[in-house]
Amino acid sequence: MLDWFWQGIVYNLPWWVWLWLGIIVVSVFFFWARTVGGLKNALLMAGAAALAVGAGIINVRGRQRGAKDQQERDQHHANATLDKAHSARADARADNADPSGLRDDDGFRRDD
């Protein structure tokens, strides 16, 4: 239902903002775990949480790079198509610039 919203956040929020959010989440988790389970257990759980957040950030960064690369490829193809269209129009204008050959017979009969 809110897929468009989530996709917008993933692709438009820079990866370093995700990094800072991850650091904040792991820090809060560490302080909570330290009060509940002690320092040794908190370090283990915070380390695991840091690995999970790091994997998530790597995933987000890869998705952003892939989307950027796809946009660049699409833009390149669009520019190439526009260049072909402009050159075809220029060639057509150059061919039609001399109207003296419009009544020339090419040997084929066309009955309308």
End-to-end CA distance of the chain: 58
Q: What is the mean pLDDT of residues 68-93?
A: 91
In a domain, 110, yes or no: no
CA distance 109 to 67: 55
In a domain, 60, yes or no: yes
pLDDT band at 112 (very low <50, low <70, confident <90, very high): low
CA distance 57 to 24: 13
In a domain, 101, yes or no: no
pLDDT at residue 98 above 90? no
pLDDT at residue 7 in the model:
80
Q: Which domain holds residue 57?
A: 7-89
Give the residue among 5, 15, 49, 58 at the shortest CA–CA distance from 31: 49
In a domain, 112, yes or no: no
In a domain, 106, yes or no: no
User: Domains in the chain: how many in total?
Assistant: 1
Q: What is the mean pLDDT of residues 77-82?
A: 95
pTM of the model: 0.58
Only one residue has tokens 């796809």, namely 70
